[in-house]
Amino acid sequence: MLKNDLLLKALRGEELQRPPVWMMRQAGRYLPEFIALRDQYDFFTRCQTPELATEITLQPLRRFPLDAAILFSDILVVPQAMGMNFEMKPGVGPWLENTIKTSADVKNVIVPDVEETLGYVFEAIKLTKKELDGKVPLIGFAGSPWTILCYAVEGKGSKTFDIAKGFCFENPVAAHELLQKITDTTIKYLLKKVESGCDVIQIFDSWGGLLSPNDYDEFSWPYIEQIVNVLAEKVPVTVFAKGCWFALEKMSQSKASALGVDWTVTPQIARYLTKNSITLQGNFDPARLLSPPETIQKIVKEMIDEFGTTKYIANLGHGILPNVPVEHAQAFVEAVVNYKKI
């Protein structure tokens, strides 16, 4: 039994006096204790060692009165399990030497046995749930198939992912075959995450906003919706598609329980596009956490006033930045926890 189920209530659309709060990448590079572990262990060692993943997941909860934990992991563990040897290069980020270039490459991509290839994630969930002892819900996540394809084809981060887009436009049959393989693997992975103890699932479509609305409808949303349709039978699902305000109306008609919004759309427009039919999550600009704490608290109050306390989860509009002072993150969380409607 959860001692704090505020997040689940918000996802159900129950009337609340204040919204729940958590931060994307809350277990991350802005925390000194995270940096200490980063200096000892490489990135994927931290992801693949259940004890380390659990410790990192719990770190922000020791500091802040958060309403949810999100399992420390990475979206790239899924393509790794599918035979793509991603590494995390210092100063570069995600790196894949042998990228997907041809239809033959797509044929060689496997849909793995997730228990065999990703068992370390499920062990981390079980260990984290034990340590949380019902304090707050645990969120599990995965990247959208389109976002995973971007990295698989591009081989690294990009501002435009034009190589990935070009692959889809030049060879749509192979692109759809790859997207379906990623989708099938992701569904199996997330179902096992839920079975292992995750209370909520979030899908990150980090690069959906690089597609036109028509291309989004072809290469991203149908695959996210497949995942949502299966997972929503088990747990609440949140979809966060960065830069995809144009798809909010369509996404709000799905089985998702919540939609994440970034800072480029106002609460009023997000509510209008979704007809106030679904819980919204966001949309504080992470760079705004570099403002003085009193300014952060003022803007957070204004944000909640505009979204309302019902069908709303206070969060950032993207992951927290590594140069944010811990005290500023604390000001953000406490401003939500102490919110009073005047």
pLDDT digit string, tens, across residues 205-236: 999 999 999 999 999 999 999 999 999 999 99
pLDDT for residue 342: 65
Please give the structure tokens belonging to residue 190. Answer: 């997330």
> Is 271 annotated as catalytic?
no
The 10s digit of each residue's pLDDT in 119-149 is 999 999 999 999 999 999 999 999 999 999 9
Q: Chain-wide mean pLDDT for the chain?
A: 98
Catalytic residue among 18, 25, 271, 288: 25
Residue 151 annotated among the catalytic residues of the structure? yes
Show Cβ contacts of residue 169 under 8 Å, excluding neighbours closer than 6 positions.
Answer: none
Please report the pLDDT score of residue 91 as a whole number.
87
Is 74 annotated as ligand-binding? Answer: yes
- Checking if the pLDDT of 57 tops 70, the result is yes
26 annotated as belonging to a binding site for a ligand: yes
Say whether 151 counts as a known binding-site residue: yes
Average pLDDT over residues 60-87: 98
Instruction: Summarize pLDDT for 303-314 with one digit per residue, the tens.
Output: 999 999 999 999
Q: How confident is the model at residue 259 (pLDDT cuts 50, 70, 90)?
A: very high
Domains of the chain are 6-337 (3.20.20.210)
Q: d(Cα 229, Cα 201) in Å, to the nearest integer?
A: 12
**Of these residues, 5, 18, 67, 151, which one is catalytic?**
151
Mean of pLDDT values over 61-83: 98
Q: Is 318 annotated as a binding residue?
A: yes
Catalytic residue among 5, 67, 74, 205: 74
Catalytic: 74? yes
Closest CA to 261 of 222, 318, 198, 208: 318
Whether 206 has a binding-site annotation, put simply, is yes
